Amino acid sequence: MRVDAELRDELARRVAVDQEARRAMDGAAMRAADEENLPWLKQVIAEVGWPTKSLVGSDGSHDAWLLVQHADADPAFQRECLELLTAAAGRAEASWREVAYLTDRVLLAEGKPQEYGTQATGRDGGYAARNLRDPAGVNERRAQMGLGPLAPYLERLAKLYGPPEPATVPCPACGAAIEFWPPNAGEPVTLTCPGCGEPMTLRVRV
């Protein structure tokens, strides 16, 4: 198969915009990039299927994966891409590491536990895998996908992004900000307002 240089270059251009917005932590720019990329990427997938290594090179296939990772506005499309990406990886036309990351993204969006611990959240001053199935077996599953152990991965996140900040919620009684570390989906967390002592219980849906 001949490399589609035009598609490869367009994927690279869109990823450059995506990454610039995310490095700047510019929420408006991130949303704008994601909103522009989603319909374009859906059209590409409809026309050529998954952008494989043979079609757009290893870099181009990686860029397509990154754009799909950020297509959270359309979980059904992410699920469709996961199936295509998995099939491509089975033909050595995509990366199993990328399959692992997208698998976790899709499962969490569907309200299910993730498999590989690639999706993390701040907890108790560090990073922890969100809603992880069978934590005792995660390193074996990660190794099967070409990923290293979970603990060093979470430590690298702290070095890369810095210590996580707790989330906040306003007290319903006095309006003061209450800090808390988000629990796993469905787990309740009981908080006490530091200002007025009002108790409250939160439950994360996703």
Tens digits of pLDDT across the chain (206 residues): 688 999 999 999 999 999 999 989 899 999 999 999 999 999 999 999 999 999 999 999 999 999 999 999 999 999 999 999 999 999 999 999 999 999 999 999 999 999 999 999 888 788 999 999 999 999 999 999 999 999 999 999 988 888 888 778 898 888 888 877 777 666 777 888 888 888 888 766 54
Identify the pLDDT of residue 1.
67
Q: Domain extents for the chain?
A: 5-161, 167-203
Candidates 123, 126, 185; CA nearest to 153 is 126
pLDDT at 195: 83
Give me the helices (H) in the chain, please.
5-23, 27-48, 53-69, 75-90, 96-109, 138-144, 150-161
pTM: 0.83
For residue 185, the model assigns a pLDDT of: 63
What is the pLDDT at residue 189?
A: 76
How far CA 159 is from CA of 54, 153, 165, in Å, comes to: 35, 10, 14
Q: Give the 3-state secondary structure of residue 171.
A: coil
Phi, psi of 9 (to 5 degrees): -70, -35
Q: Half-sphere exposure (CA, 13 Å, Cβ side) for 173?
A: 11
Q: Which residues pair with 177 in a beta bridge?
A: 170
